Structure 1
Amino acid sequence: MQIIQTLNVLLGHYPQANSTTSTISGNKHFSFGVKPVGFNLGGGLSALRGYFRSVRLGTGRMLVNINVNHAVFFQPGSLVDLISTFARTYGRNSWQLEKFLKKVRVETTHLPAKKNRAGQNVPRIKTIIALANTNDGSLLPHPPRVSKFAAGPKDVQFWLDSPSQKTSTALGPKKGEASTKITSAGYINHNLTIESPEIPVLNIGNKENPMYIPAECCRVLPGQASMKKLSLDQTAVMIRFACRKPFLNAQSITLDGPQVLGLVPASNPLLASFGVGVDLAMITVLGRVLSSPVVKYQGTSTETPRNGNKMRDCGLKVPEPIALGPFIELDAAGSTKTNDQLIESIMRSIAAHEGKVGMVFVLLPDMDAAVYNRVKYVGDILLGIHTVCSLDIKAAKEGGRDQYLANIALKLGIIGEGKTMVVGIDVTYPSPGSLSNAPSVAAVVASIDRFLGQFPCELSIQKGREEMVTDLSAMFKSRLDLWRARNKTLPENILVYRDGVSEGQYQVLKDTEIPSLRTACDLAYTSEDRKKGVPKISVIVVGKRHHTRFYATREVEADRSANPLNGTVVDRGVTSMWNWDFFLQAHTCLQGTVKPAHYYVVLDEIFGKGDLKKPHPFPNAADTLEELTHNMCYLFARATKAVSICPPAYYADLACERARCYLSGVFDPVTPGGSSVTSGTQVDVNATDVKIHQKLQNSMFYI
C-alpha cells in the first residue's frame, strides 16, 4: 500500500505543479492552458475535459488507471461579466448569487502591481466569502453600515482611522478610534470609476471582520472547479459534451492524456530520475460474454433477449385489470393556495372518492422537481396512494412513445401485486447546498419470495455524512419478518448487494454492517438454526464510481455503438490478486462509452462453500455468482432492457432518491419566493418525515 501511495504522489507531481492544470481530489487533472478542451454550459460555467489517474495493483504487475473525466469550472476573467451572465440566466436573485460566488478566488486589480525580488508580479489573491450584509462586523467597535443585503458600492459605508488614511490599502474597518466614514465606491474612486453600482459589494474577509471590494476590481482566476448544482439545461449540455464514442475516449487516453499527466518522458524527466516509466499502450485482458437468460412472459410466452432488450411485443402479466377513474386537470390560475397546498387538496379529494383509489397517474407539464416531490410526499407519506408520474410531452410525442409507455406499464405491474431473500442496501448523503442539519438516509430493500419481483423497502434517517447504516439491525429484521409473514418460514441464504461503498471502506463495512446483519438474524432465527449456520450470508459491494473501461479489440466483439457486447464479464488481468471481484457489463449502452459495474465480494458463505444445491451448470463459485448477477439485471421492474447494475442495489438507490424528495426542504432548500434558504436556516427533520404510510409499507412505492 505504501508503494502505491508513493507512486501516486510521484505521478501526480507533474500535473499538480503545472500552473495551467487544475487538480480536483488529487487525481483528476484538467488543462486550461493554450488549447483547453471545453464547452460553455451557460450561466457563467463551462465544462472541461481532463483525466483521472491512479496507480493500481493488477495481476502480477502495477497498472496506471487513466480515464477521460469531465468537470464544471467557473468562467475566468471579469467578475462583472460573470455576475452579469449569471443574472441573465437565473435573474437577479441575490441569495442565489451569493451561493454561486461563495469560495470563488479572485485577483484584485485596484492597487498597483506588487513585485517580488526577481521583479515578477505577485497577484493579490482573495476568496469571496459572501455578499455585503447588514450584520457584517456587528461586534466591532465601529461596524460598517450596509443598507441592505447585497448592497452596491454606494450603499456600503465603513470607517477609516483618519481622513489622511484614505489612500490606505486596507479595504475593511480598522481597529481604534474612527473619525471618517466613507462609502466603498468613494474609497475606490481614486483608482477606478464604478460603472455598475447595482452589482453587490463582495466580502473578501469574514463575517466578524469584513473586507469589502466592488466586483469591478476583481478578476476570476482560471481553473476553479464549481461544485454547484447544475440546472436541467446545463445538465443536458454537460451530458452532450461528455458523451463520446468509445474510440474517441480511447484516443484521448493514449494520446492527449499522457501529455496532460506528464507521462511522456520528454516532458517529465522527473520520472526517469526515479527509474519509473509508464508503457502508454493499453493492456489487453481476457473477457467472456455471458448468454442472455430466457425471459418468461404472460402464459407460456418466452423470449431470449437480444442486445439486452427483454420485452418486444410480448404479453405483460398484470395482477388484475385496472379500472380507469376520473381525469382531473390541476390549474393554479386564480387560486390563493400554493402549489403544495393545491396538490395536497386535490389528492385528498381523490383519496376520499367513493370508489377505492389505489393509484393516481399524474401527467406533469414539465420537470419541476418541487411538484414531483410534493406529489410523492403526499401519496407515499400522508395518504398511502401509489402515484405514477409521467411527463406530458413524452407521453404525447410519437417518436419513442411505445418504449416510454412500456416502461410506465412495468411500473404499474410491479406496484400492484407482490410477485416475488436478495437484499439491496444504500445510503444517500447531503449534497453541496444542503442545510447543515440535513441527515443521511439509509434504505434496505429485500425480496419477499423466490420470484425476485417485489422488493419492499425500509427507510431510516441518520446523522449527516454517516456512510454506514447505523440502524441496520432493526431495518433488516423488519425485512426478515416480512419474508416470514409471506412464506411461513425464513430464508436459508441471504445475498446482499451493498451500494455506495468505496474501496477504502470495505473493512469498515466488515466491522460494522456485517455484525449488524448477524444481530438481526440472531433475533429472527432459532438458536438451533444459528448453530447449524443458517442463514448463510454473502455480501457483495456494487461499485459504480470507478474509472475502469473496456474497449473491444475486434469489430465482431462490439455492438452497434462500438462498445463491448452486453453480458461481458472480466474477472482477471485488472482485478485483485488476493480478493474476489469482477467487472460486469450487463446492459447495452444507448450512447457514449459504456461503464461496467464492479462487484467486490466482502463476505461469502454461499457460493464458495460448495453448498449450492445440485445440479447446476456452473463449474465454480465465481461463474455461479457472475451468472446470477447478470441474470438478475434482466429483472429490473421499470425497464424493458437489462440494466447496468444488479436490481437490488438499483432499488436501494431509487429508495434513497425518493427519500430525498420527502426531505427536499433540507437537501435542496428553497424559499417560497424561489431564492435559496440561507445556511443558518434550520428545518426540523425527524423519523416521521420518511415513515411510509402503512398502506404502502410492503410495496415498491419508490419505483
Structure 2
Amino acid sequence: MAGPPKKYARNEQQSQGSSNGSSSASRDPTQRSIPRLDGNRDPIVKAIDYTKPTDLKNISEFLGISGWYTARGIEIPHALPHRPKNFNQYGRECGIMLNTFNVVKTPNTVVHQYDLNYTGDARDYTKRVLLKKIWNSNPVKAALGEPTNLWVWDGNRLSWSSKRLDREDTRITVDLDAEEGRPTREGARGNKHTIHIRWTRQVDFNHMQAFLNGQASWSTECIDTINFLDHVMREWPSQQYTQIKKSFFQRGEQRFDLGGGIEAFKGVFASLRPVLDDRFQKSLSVNVDVANGTFWRAQELTRAIGQVFNCTPPQFSQRFKEAKRDWKNSILKKDLRRFKRVGVSTTHTKTPTQWTIDEFVNMDANEATFPDPDDRQPDVDPRRLRQISVSSYFRQKYNINCMPGVPVVRMTKKIRKGPVYMPIDVLKIDTNQRYNIKLSDTQTSSMIKFAVTLPRDRWAAVQQGVRLLNWPSDPYLRHYGLQVSPNAAKVKARILPSPTVHFGAGSKEPTIKPQDLIAGRWRLDGRKFAINNKDHPVKAWGICCIQGRGSPPVQAVEAFAQKFVQIYEGHGGLIVAHPQHGKKPWMGPGNLSDGGEMVQKVWNQTGNRYAMPPMLLFFIVNDRNVDVYRRIKKSCDIRFGVASQVLQAKHVMSASPQYISNVCMKVNAKLGGATSVTKSQLIPKVAPRSASIPTMVVGADVSHPAPGAASTEAASFAAITVSLDPNFVKYWAEVQTNGNRVEMVTTANIDNHFGYMVKNWIQKIGQGRAPQRVLYIRDGVSEGQYAAVLEEEVKDMKECFKKLGCKDMPKFTVVIAGKRHHIRFFPDAGKGDRNNNPLPGTLVESGCTHPFEFDFYLCSHVAIKGTARPIHYQCILNEGEWASAELQQFIFEHSYQYVRSTTPVSLHPAVYYAHLAADRARAHLNDNPVSSGKKESKADQQSSTGSSSKQNVEIAPLMAMQNARGLKEVMWYI
C-alpha cells in the first residue's frame, strides 16, 4: 500500500467541499490543504470527543504518525514503517547524555475528564485571556471546590479532576465586571458568562500502559491519557511563571536588550512524550531544554514607539502627518501593525485598566470622537448622542492634555457598540508580552549572541530548568501520582563511519584525511574540484563595482580578478583566454540610481567586449543590503539568464585566498561543477545492490512569511530539488509561490515543476527509464501533517510519473527532516569535539525516539558556535525497502558533499538546497519591481513560521527565469 487509505482522502475532500476525488485535481493554494494544526485546517471527521475539531490543537505534538491517524478517526495504514528490530551496529559506540528525564511512576488514581463550553455576553469565546478570567473567577473556583480539589485545565475546552461533579452538566455564571470590582455601567454591554462543565469520561491509565507494553494499539483513550499527563506537567509551572506554549519564563528574570523596544530572556521548555527510553523500554519521558523568548519591554507606549522607529515624538508626529495623505497604503501604518494584540494598561487612573491594541488609526486625539458618556439619554442609540473628542474628554475628566499630531489607538473591546480610542501617552505596555514579529538584522545578531551557549553552559541551564520546575514540590504531580526522575537519560549512541571524500584528478591530496573528516573541517588548498565547469567554460565575464561609500578602488578590483583567475584555475576551473583580452574580465562601475538598467549596461558592455552573451557576472556591493542583492539577482535570473555572483567590497579589498576559494566553489556550481564527491565504504556491505538501483533523491521545503506586517497577504514559497547525477552531488531546483501559508506543495506546483524535473531526469539520467527508487526528504512539517505529505504530495508525484507514461511506478521512501525540536546531545567527557559537542555522524536511536515508529536523531555536522542541534529524521513510508543502516549512512555521508562548504552540513543537501532556492526565488516576486533606491522589503518578512490567514488570498506566481542559456540546468541558487 503506497500511502494512507482512501478514507483519509475522502474526508479531506468532503471538508473542502470537493466533488472530485481524482488525485490529479489541482489543490488550490488559497485553500487549507491539510487539517488545521499550526496553520492548517481540521477535517470534519471527529475522532476524539472534543467540543470542536479545532480542539485537536490541544493534544500532544508527539504522538507519531499513527497517533495522528487515530486522533482523526482514520484507520492506520499497514504500510507505515515500524521501528527496525535491530539498532545500527556500525561505527563506534559513544555515551551520550540526553536532556530527557524518564517518568518513573504514572497515576493509578481515578481521574475524570470534562468538556467545557461558554456562553454569554462575549462575541468570541476563543480568546484565551477571556477564558482564563472565567476559569480563575471566584464563582468557578468555589463551585469546583478549589483549592481542596486540584483541577487541571488545558486553557480552552478540556479540564480534569479526581472529583466527580454531582451533575452531568454543571453551569456556573460569572460577572467579570463585578469580579474586577467595577459594576457594568448603564447602557454598556454586559460582561456575564456561563461556563458549562460536562463530564465525558474517566481517564484510562491501563489502556495507555497496555499500548506502551505493545499489548494494545493506539486509541483515543490512550491519546486522552497522554494529553492529560502533558497538561498535569504544565499546570503548576503555568501558575508560577509566564507560559508560552510549553515554555515557562520566570518573572523578574534578567533581561537582555535587543534594541527597538524588545528584550530577551531565558526560560525553560518542558514537554512529555512517549519514547523508547534509555533502557529500551516503551515509556514516558520529559524533554527539558532552554527556551529563549523575545518580549516587549514593559514601558510607556510613547517610549516604545520612539525605540521602534528610532525617532523623537516630533519626528514621529511628522511621519504621521506625511502618512495621513495615503494612510491605507502608508509604510507607517504597516509598521505600526506590529503593536496589534499587544496588551497595555492605562496610567491616568488610580486602578489601571487593561486593554488590547487593535490598531493605530489615522486620527489624533483632537480628531477622534466618541459618544459623550455624560450625555445619557435612555432608549437612544449611543451613536446618536453628542460626540466629544478624545482630547476634550481627557482634559475635562482627568485634566490631561493629550499629545497632538500622533495617532490614537483603537482597542479590541467596544463600549456601547462603539470603538474605544485611547491616546498613546496614557498607555503602558504590560509586562511579559511576547514579541512574535520577525527580528531585524541587528536584533537577530544580538539574539544569536544571547541564545548561543556552549554545551557545558546549556547543560547547566537544563539543570537549572529542572530545579525551576521543581517536580518533587509540584502539588499537581503529587496529587495525581506522577513522578519524574531527576536524573537525565543516558544512551549508547553510535558514531557512524565517515565516507571517503574525493576531489578531482591532479589534487595534491585527492581525499580528506580521516582526522579532518572527524573534526568536520578541511581546506581546499591544493585540491581540484571533483567536477569542474568543462561543459560551461568561462569565455565572457565581467565585474561591476557598485559606486558609493566603501566601494573598492579600481586597482583592488583588478587585483581581485587576477587572484580569482589564479585560484579558480588552481582548483581546476576553466577560463578560456580571449585573443585580445586574455583572461582579464570586463570591469566597470555601476550606479544603483540606474535601477534595473545598471545590470543591462553591465550585460551589454561585457557582451560587446567579447562579442557574445556573458556567461558570468560579478557585482561588488558595499554592504549587506538584501534589497540591492535581490534586485541584482532578479535582473540576472529573469531578464538575462546569466550566472551571477555578488561580492562584498570589504572582502574584495582583503582578497584572502580562503574567501576566494569559497567564491570559487559557488561559481563552479553555478557553471555546472561540484566541489567533492563521497564514496561509501559501508553501504556496499550493508546493501550490496544499492549502487545498481537507479535512484532519484528529492528534497522539498515550504517557507512562509513571518508573523507581522502584511504577512497575511505575503506569499509562501514551495521549493523542490531533484538529484541530477548518479552520485547525488548536483541538484536541479524549481521554486514557485504556494498561496499564503499553505503548507502542502500544491498539485499545480508538483505537476509543473516536479514533473519538469522528472522528465529531465528520465531523458538525461535514466536514459529513457524512470528511477526504480525515489527518496523524498521533506522538511518543515509537524507530526499532524505527515499524513497529508503522503496523501497529497506523494500521490501527486506518482501522478507525474504516470503522466510521463512510466509503466513501473518508482518505489517511494519518504523521510521527514525536523529541526524544530529540543533534543540535544551531551557526550561523555573527552568523547566529543573541543567544545564537547557530538562528533559528526553521532546517531541516537533510543532515549528520545518514538516507541514504535522508524525515527532517529543524527548530528552530521560540527557546531561552529553553541550547542549542536541534531536533525530528527522520521521515515513515514518505505516502499523502497531501505535498510535502516543504509538510510542513516546515506543521509550522513551526503552531508560531506555539500557544494559550497568545506564542512559536513547539518541537514541532507537536497533539503538544504531547497532552502537556498526558496530564499533566492524571493527576488523573483512579481510585486517587487526593479528600481532605484532603498525599498521596503516584503521578502524580509518571509519565514517558515506563523499561523494561517483566515481569508483566501490571491498570490501571483513568480516571474519565469530566462533559460535560453541553460541557467535552470545548473545550480543557479547556490
Matches within 5 A, 1:178-217: 178-179=385-386, 181-184=388-391, 187-188=394-395, 190-194=397-401, 196-205=403-412, 209-217=418-426
Counterpart contact for 1:440–1:465, Cα < 8 Å: yes
Secondary structure of the 2:492 match is: coil
Partners of 1:371 and 1:186 lie apart in 2 by 49
Taking structure 1 as reference, are residues 673 and 411 closer, same or farther at Cα in structure 2, changes over 3 Å only?
closer
Describe the superposition over 1:152-196 as per-residue Cα deviations: whole angstroms up to 9, x where unpaired: x3x32425448x559x9xxxx982434454352653464254475
Q: 1: CA distance between counterparts of 2:963 and 2:711?
A: 26
Q: Is the 8 A contact 1:96 1:676 kept in 2?
A: no
Please give the alpha-carbon distance, in whole angstroms, between the structure 2 residues aligned to 1:343 and 1:454: 31
Distance in 2, matches of 1:499 and 1:674, equals 29
CA deviation vs aligned residue, 1:58-104 (integer Å, no higher than 9, x gap): 11221101111212110002222212222327974543651232221
Number of residue pairs aligned between Structure 1 and Structure 2: 638
What amino acid is the match of 2:422? Answer: I
Q: Quote the residue 2:760 is aligned against.
A: 482
Give the aligned partner of residue 538 of structure 2. Answer: 322
Of the three residues 239, 247, 258, the one matched with 2:466 is 258
Write out per-residue CA displacement over residues 443-478 of structure 1, whole angstroms, 9 at most, x where no aligned residue: 111111213222111223232221111122443322
1:71 aligns with 2:351: no
Residues of 2 paired with 1:567 and 1:676: CA distance?
Answer: 38
Q: Which amino acid aligns with 2:353?
A: R
Q: Which residue of 1 aligns with 2:175?
A: none
Distance (whole Å) between structure 1 residues aligned to residue 375 and residue 525 of structure 2: 83
Two-structure CA RMSD over aligned residues (Å): 3.3
CA contact 2:255–2:263 (8 Å) conserved in 1:
yes
CA deviation vs aligned residue, 1:239-282 (integer Å, no higher than 9, x gap) = 00001011111111112x1344x34322x211100001211221
Q: Using the alignment, how far apart are the partners of 1:206 and 1:344 within structure 2?
A: 52
Deviation at 1:523, TM superposition (A): 2.5
Structure 2: distance between partners of 1:565 and 1:454? 26
Q: In the alignment, is the contact (CA less than 8 A) between 1:414 and 1:637 conserved in 2?
A: yes
Alpha-carbon separation, structure 2, partners of 1:380 and 1:440: 20
2:889 to 613, 619, 627: 627
What residue number does 1:129 align with? 358
**Cα 1:96/1:75, change in 2 over 3 Å:** farther
Q: What letter is aligned with 1:111? A: T
SS at match of 1:265: helix
876, 883, 887: which is aligned to 1:602? 876
**Deviation, structure 1 residue 699:** 1.8
2: distance between equivalents of 1:184 and 1:661?
46
Paired position in structure 2 for 1:116:
none
Which amino acid in the other structure matches residue 689 of structure 1? M
Report if the CA contact (8 A) 1:422-1:496 is conserved. yes
Counterpart residue number, 2:718: 442
The Cα shift of 1:553 comes to 1.8
Contact 2:640–2:962 under 8 Å retained in 1: no
Determine which of 802, 813, 818 is the counterpart of 1:522: 802
Contact 2:260 2:310 in 1 (8 A): yes
Check whether the contact 1:659–1:690 (CA below 8 A) recurs between aligned residues.
no
Q: Is the 8 A contact 2:826 2:837 kept in 1?
A: yes
Whether the 8 Å CA contact 1:55–1:62 is kept in 2: the answer is yes
Tell me the alpha carbon deviations over residues 374-403 of structure 1, each in whole angstroms, 9 at most, x when there is no partner. Answer: 1111111222111112222244447xx444
- 1:303 match: secondary structure: coil
What is aligned with 1:141? none
* C-alpha displacement of 1:646: 0.5
Which has the larger displacement, 235-244 or 685-694?
A: 685-694
1:128-527 alignment to 2 at 5 Å? 128-133=357-362, 146=363, 151=364, 153=365, 155-161=366-372, 164-165=374-375, 175-179=382-386, 181-184=388-391, 187-188=394-395, 190-194=397-401, 196-205=403-412, 209-255=418-464, 257-260=465-468, 262-266=469-473, 268-299=474-505, 301-304=510-513, 305-306=516-517, 307-317=519-529, 318-320=532-534, 322=538, 325-331=541-547, 338=593, 340-349=595-604, 353=608, 354-397=611-654, 401-417=656-672, 421-432=696-707, 433-471=709-747, 472-487=750-765, 488-490=767-769, 491-527=771-807
The 1-side partners of 2:467 and 2:398 are apart by 43
CA distance in 1 between counterparts of 2:527 and 2:878 reads 38
Q: Distance in 2 between matches of 1:383 and 1:510?
A: 38
Q: Is this contact kept in 2: 1:107–1:126, CA < 8 A?
A: yes
Q: Which residue does the alignment assign to 1:27?
A: 246
Query: Do residues 51 (structure 1) and 268 (structure 2) align?
Result: yes
TM-score, normalised with respect to structure 1: 0.83
CA distance 1:454–1:161, change in 2 (3 Å): same
Q: Secondary structure at the match of 2:968?
A: coil
Secondary structure at the counterpart of residue 592 of structure 1: coil
The change in CA–CA distance for 1:570 and 1:395 in structure 2 (over 3 A counts) is: farther
411-420 vs 186-195, which moves further: 186-195
Provide structure 1 residue ranges, at least 5 long, that are not aligned to the other structure. 114-122, 134-145, 609-620
Are the counterparts in 2 of residues 332 and 342 from structure 1 also a CA contact under 8 Å?
A: no
Partner residue of 1:636? Answer: 898
Cα distance in 1 for partners of 2:230, 2:926 equals 39
- Distance in 2 between the 1:313 and 1:58 partners? 46
Q: Match for 2:461: what amino acid?
A: S
Q: Distance in 1 between matches of 2:390 and 2:548?
A: 46
Q: Which amino acid aligns with 2:868?
A: V
Distance in 2 separating the partners of 1:55 and 1:566: 28
Give yes or no for the alignment of 1:7 onto 2:229. Answer: yes
Letter in 2 for 1:455: Y
Question: What SS does structure 2 have at the residue aligned with 1:382?
Answer: helix
Counterpart-to-counterpart distance in 2, 1:64 and 1:666:
46
Q: What's the counterpart of residue 86 of structure 1?
A: 308
SS in 2 for 1:129: strand
Q: 5+ unaligned residues in a row in structure 2: which ranges?
A: 1-222, 277-281, 320-331, 550-589, 678-695, 942-948
Counterpart Cα distance in 2 of 1:292 and 1:516: 36
User: Displacement, 1:585?
Assistant: 0.8
The alpha-carbon distance between structure 1 residues 248 and 89, as it changes in their structure 2 partners (threshold 3 A), is farther
| Aligned AA (1:129) | D
| Deviation beyond 6 Å, 4+ runs, structure 1 | 670-673, 675-679
Match of 2:96 in 1: none
Q: For structure 1, which segment, 443-452 or 629-638, has the greater mean C-alpha deviation from structure 2 after superposition?
A: 443-452
Whether the aligned pair in 2 keeps the contact of 1:67 and 1:253 (CA below 8 Å) is yes
Q: Return the structure number with greater relative CO, CA threshold 8 A, min gap 6.
A: 2
Partner in structure 1 of residue 968 of structure 2: 697
Kept in 1, the 8 Å contact 2:356–2:413? The answer is no
Aligned counterparts of 2:466 and 2:403: Cα–Cα separation in 1: 45
Cα-to-partner distance string for 1:585-622 (whole Å, 9 max, x where unaligned): 111111100001111111112344xxxxxxxxxxxx22
Give TM-score, length-normalised by structure 2: 0.61
